[in-house]
Amino acid sequence: MACGEWERRRGLVRGGRGSFGGLAGLTVFRDFCTIARVREAVAETVIRPSMKLIRAAYWAVFLVLFLSVLAYVNNEKIGSYNPAVLLIPAALLLFPIRSHLRQHFTRLTLTDGKLRYETGIVSRSSRSIPLAQVQNVRVDQTLFQRLLRVGDISVETAGETSLLVVKDLDDPEAVADLILGAAPPRSRKEKSE
């Protein structure tokens, strides 16, 4: 059976905005097709942090806001206050909005020969790492991150600035495999657990 047919049957083909935030049909899985597919599809792959934690924060803030409005309307003692009091729970929206903007303006781009990490809303910071210098890609997940299937990756390189940490990525093990699969064979090291 061809790799493409196997992928379709297993449901591994991702198109559009999949869990990696727009890999445009790139298939990432751990079997005999991985390295071949990665080398073909690495023209430019953009990976963004997960929206899962941000969505949870939005839901929590909307729940607090809903309960505040409900208490304001149904409680005579609280209802006697100025309606501007409801702006206090509404101000909590600033936290998930800030995280959402930070997520939107953070990206990890994998091209043929380098890994580029860009972040920043007003002032931009960019770091490029040649894939030949990648020595290790480590995946770290807290219990909460494991439940949500997100995690942090640490890319260790040879040189002075030897560590790049990208937080809250969807399926971090697949991202680590993607980076290691795109690195030249002579520089590849085993991923630490």
The strand pairing partners of 164, in sequence order, are 155
Token digits of residue 39: 């080398």
155 and 172 part of one domain? yes
- The answer to the question of residue 4 being in a domain is no
Looking at the structure of the chain, the number of domains it has is 2
Tell me the residue range of the domain where 126 lies: 13-49+109-187
Residue that has been written with the tokens 């002579």 in this structure: 186
Torsions phi, psi for 17 (to 5 deg): -100, 85
pLDDT (tens digit per residue) in 93-148 = 999 999 999 999 999 999 888 999 999 989 999 999 998 888 889 999 999 999 99
22 and 83 part of one domain? no
pTM recorded for the entire structure: 0.65
113 and 152 part of one domain? yes
Greater pLDDT, 51 or 22? 51
